[in-house]
Structures are given as C-alpha cells and as structure tokens.
C-alpha cells in the first residue's frame, strides 16, 4: 500500500483554519469522513461550526478530581435551548466502561 502526502494551502478564519475549506479540500480528494481526536479546542471548533454529525464518547466510572480540561472548549451555546442536540443511537458496555454513540439532529 502506497501512502501519498500533499501540502494544501487553505484560507484562515478569524480564529485559526477555515474548517469548511478544509473539509472541502478533503472531499475533493475523496475523503468523506474524518475522525477528530485532537482535544477540546479542535472538537469545540468543529462543533461551533456545525460540522459534527456523530459523537462517540467513552465514560469510565472513575473520579479523577478537579483541574482537568473539559471535553470541549470555545464559546459554547448561549443557552440550553440553543445547544446542539444529538440523538443517542448506541450504548455499549466495554468492561467497566460505557461507549455512547450519538448522531446530530437536524436543525
């Protein structure tokens, strides 16, 4: 299997990279789905742009304590009514942990 790399110049947005332009560049190269696993800033940026259609979350019955980062960073929704909604489609127990899969609701 041969792997090819390419450098693509993309426009910048007010804060960082123009995410819709990134997704368009990937789509132009035949990539229709991506996995985000970069941390709360990346996840929050894609969510704020309305570019998340599926969330996979793992929950463990462990209390770590304060001082940790949240799962999402960024402006967030101004109210619970304005929050992005997802529909829970799968819950799977994996040992003592739980895997939850949710899909974005239209709107």
pLDDT at 88: 97
Q: What dihedral angle (degrees, nearest 10) is formed by the CA atoms of 53, 68, 97, 84?
A: -20
pTM (two decimals): 0.78
Residue 78 corresponds to which tokens in the numbers above? 């101004």
The domain made up of 19-64+72-104 is a member of CATH 2.60.40.10: no
| Residue 73 clears pLDDT 70, i.e. is over it | yes
The predicted model gives 68-77 an average pLDDT of 78
pLDDT tens digits for 77-91? 888 988 889 999 999
Where do the structural domains in the chain lie, given as residue ranges?
19-64+72-104
Q: Do residues 36 and 42 lie in contact, with contact meaning Cβ atoms separated by under 8 Å?
A: yes
Mean confidence (pLDDT) of the chain: 88
pLDDT at 86: 95
Contacts of 26 (CB under 8 A, 6+ apart): 32, 34
pLDDT tens digits for 7-47? 889 999 887 889 999 999 999 999 999 998 878 888 888 98
Q: Do residues 20 and 49 lie in contact, with contact meaning Cβ atoms separated by under 8 Å?
A: yes
pLDDT level of residue 1 (50, 70, 90 thresholds) = low
pLDDT level of residue 67 (50, 70, 90 thresholds) = confident
Residue 56 corresponds to which tokens in the numbers above? 């996979």
C-alpha to C-alpha distance for 56 and 79, rounded to whole angstroms: 23
């Amino acid at each position: 299997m041969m792997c090819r790399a390419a450098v693509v110049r993309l426009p910048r947005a007010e804060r960082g990279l123009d995410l819709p332009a990134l997704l368009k560049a990937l789509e132009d190269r035949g990539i229709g789905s991506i996995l985000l696993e970069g941390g709360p800033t990346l996840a929050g940026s894609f969510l704020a742009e309305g570019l998340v259609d599926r969330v996979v979350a793992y929950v463990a019955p462990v209390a770590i304590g304060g001082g940790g980062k949240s799962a999402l960073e960024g402006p967030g929704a101004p109210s619970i009514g304005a929050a992005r909604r997802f529909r829970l489609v799968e819950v799977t127990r994996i040992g003592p942990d739980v895997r939850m899969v949710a899909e974005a609701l239209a709107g």
